[in-house]
Amino acid sequence: MFSYRHAFHAGNHADVLKHLVLVQLLRYLAQKDTPFWVVDTHAGAGLYGLEGEWAAKRSEFADGIGRLWGRADAPPAVVDYLDEIRALNPEGRLRHYPGSPFIALRHLRERDRLRLFEMHPTESRVLAGNIGEAGREAQKRAIVDAGDGFAGLKALLPPPPRRALVLIDPSYEDKRDYARVLAALRDALSRFATGCYAIWYPLVQRPEPADLARRLRNQPGIRWLHATLSVRHPSADGLGLHGSGMFVVNPPWTLQASLRECLPWLLAALRQDDGAGFTLETDGEEPHGAGAAGP
């Protein structure tokens, strides 16, 4: 269960989609003065070195953030995302990549809070160390919990400020994660129906992703947005990630327009073959897309 290490994948095409959406959600929350919480149920290590042995081993970032770095023609939502990565690489060379905890931290104000769950003992130690080194403001705002994020989420909802973003981002190495995600969302909605929930999932050659997407879309009485981005045909051996999806419950009204504008640009920038494509759909609206993507 504990073999997954996000450092191998940091900055890949799936991180690009996930973190681009995350930035838009955070920016929207921070527009209002009232405080909010961010709950990251599967936080990872928080910061990744792209020159390190692990990232270099597969160089997944080269076909993700690596293709966007240095582009001067990006649409606004991509610029917002690139600003996060630039903040960590002020000298201009792409050496570091922020995970979701550090992307969230940059958007928190005095009274906002970040609750992080990371169950891998090494990853959670590294995460706690990274938060510790990020200074007093970060230490005051963020709490790292080395427990199970699905269980931890239950205890936190509804959050005191009644405004919150919950990122649910398991690795799905354990196939039971698909069912856990659905159960966690249902339980969370019963405790805190107005929260914003962002669920990431992989596009792989298995029935589970399409099944999860269908079940999420069929949740009764929710507002949702669903985006997928696929960069290539699935590989012949069925291994590897050819794309990913983000399902957002209670999305800000601005998100659809932002993604409509930037997904075609991202598709062109990240495509590896003619199996690439994107989809964008919301409850009650016709799906929009291009190419071959989709769960």
Looking at the annotation, which residues are catalytic?
A: 169
Q: Nearest distance from residue 146's CB to ligand SAM, in Å?
A: 8
Q: β-strand 164-168 against 96-98: which pairing, if any?
A: unpaired
How far apart CA 240 and CA 23 sit, in angstroms, is: 26
Instruction: Name the DSSP class of 198.
Output: E
Q: Which of 61, 123, 258, 270 binds ligand SAM (CB under 6 A)?
A: 123
- Which of residues 62 and 292 has its CB atom nearest to ligand SAM in the complex? 62
Q: What is the DSSP letter of 167?
A: E
Q: Is position 169 an interface residue for ligand SAM (rule: CB under 6 A)?
A: yes
**Sole window of 117-125, 135-143, 236-244, 260-268 interacting with ligand SAM (rule: CB under 6 A):** 117-125
The SS3 of residue 162 is coil
Q: x/- contact string, 135-154, with ligand SAM (CB under 6 A)? A: -------------xxx----
Q: Return d(Cα 133, Cα 117) in angstroms, integer.
A: 18
**To which residue do tokens 């994948």 refer?**
9
| In contact, 77 and 21? CB cutoff 8 Å | no
Going by the DSSP 8-state scheme, the letter that residue 206 receives in this structure is S
Instruction: Confirm or deny that 42 is annotated as ligand binding.
Output: yes
DSSP 8-state class, residue 236: T
Helix orientation angle between 176-191 and 208-217, rounded to the nearest 10 degrees: 20
Please report whether residue 44 would count as binding ligand SAM according to CB under 6 A. Answer: yes
Residue placing its CB nearer to ligand SAM in the complex, 37 or 150: 150
Asked if 120 is part of the footprint of ligand SAM (rule: CB under 6 A), the reply reads yes
Give 229's strand partners: 244, 278
Q: Is 149 exposed, middle or buried (0-12, 13-18, 19+ CB in 10 A)?
A: buried
148 labelled binding-site residue: yes
Q: Does 36 bind ligand SAM (CB under 6 A)?
A: no
125 lies in the site for ligand SAM, by CB under 6 A? no
Please identify, using beta-carbon distances, which residue of 41 and 282 lies nearer to ligand SAM: 41
Q: Considering the rule CB under 6 A, would residue 187 count as an interface residue with ligand SAM?
A: no
- Minimum CB distance to ligand SAM, residue 33 (Å): 27
Nearer to ligand SAM, 4 or 54 (CB): 4
Which H helix or E strand runs over 72? none
Among 11, 64, 159, 170, binds ligand SAM (CB under 6 A): 170
Closest approach, Cβ 284 to ligand SAM, in A, equals 29
Tell me, residue by residue from 81 to 100, as one string, x for binding to ligand SAM by CB under 6 A and - for no binding.
------------------xx
Residues 6+ apart with CB under 8 A from 280: 225, 226, 227, 256, 259, 260, 263, 287, 288, 289
Which residues are near ligand SAM by CB under 6 A? 4, 6, 18, 40, 42-44, 99-100, 117-120, 123, 148-150, 169-171
Binding positions for S-adenosyl-L-methionine: 19, 42, 100, 118, 148-149, 169
